[in-house]
Amino acid sequence: MLDVAIIGGGPAALSAALNCRQRNKTVCIFGRSLDSSLLFAAEKVDNYLGLPDVNGEEMLNRFYSHAVKNGVEFQECRVTQVLNMGEHYMINAENNFIEAKAIILATGLSKSKGIAGELDYLGKGVSYCATCDGMLYRNKKVIVISENEEGEAEANFLADICKEVLYIPLYKNVSFLKESVTVLAAKPKAVIGSGEKLTALETDQETISCDGIFFAKNTMPPDSLIFGLKTDGKNIEVDRRMSTNLPRVYAAGDCTGAPYQIAKAVGEGLVAALSAVSDIDQMTKK
Ligand X SMILES: Cc1cc2nc3c(=O)[nH]c(=O)nc-3n(C[C@H](O)[C@H](O)[C@H](O)COP(=O)(O)OP(=O)(O)OC[C@H]3O[C@@H](n4cnc5c(N)ncnc54)[C@H](O)[C@@H]3O)c2cc1C
Chain residues binding its own copies by CB under 8 A are: 11, 14-15, 18-19, 22, 46-52, 59, 62-63, 66-67, 69-70, 238, 240, 257, 259, 261, 263-271, 274
Question: Closest distance between its own copies and the C-beta of residue 26, in Å?
Answer: 17
Question: Closest distance between its own copies and the C-beta of residue 280, in Å?
Answer: 15
Where in 90-119 is the site for ligand X (CB under 6 A)?
A: 106-109
Residue of 143, 142, 135, 183 lying closest to 161 (CA atoms): 135
Reading phi first (left if > 0) and then psi (alpha if -120 to 50, else beta), residue 206 is in beta
Residue of 247, 278, 256, 253 lying closest to 13 (CA atoms): 253
Where in 193-222 is the site for ligand X (CB under 6 A)?
A: 219-220
| Edge-to-edge strand list for the sheet holding 198-203 | 188-193, 198-203, 207-209
CA pseudo-torsion sign 181, 187, 192, 198: positive
- Interface pick for ligand X out of 55, 261, 279, 283 (rule CB under 6 A): 261
Residue 274's binding partner, choosing from ligand X, its own copies, none, with beta-carbon cut-off 5 to 8 A by kind? Answer: its own copies
What per-residue string of b and e applies to 100-136 under the rule 16 or more CB within 10 Å gives b? bbbbbbbbbbbeeebbebbeebbeebbbbbbeebbee
Q: Which stretch binds ligand X (CB under 6 A): 8-16, 143-151, 178-186, 227-235?
A: 8-16
Distance of alpha carbon 221 from alpha carbon 206, whole angstroms: 26
Question: Closest distance between its own copies and the C-beta of residue 270, in Å?
Answer: 4
Residue 214's binding partner, choosing from ligand X, its own copies, none, with beta-carbon cut-off 5 to 8 A by kind? Answer: none
**Site of interaction with ligand X (CB under 6 A):** 7-13, 30-32, 36-39, 41-42, 45, 47-48, 78-79, 106-109, 219-220, 225, 253-254, 260-263, 265
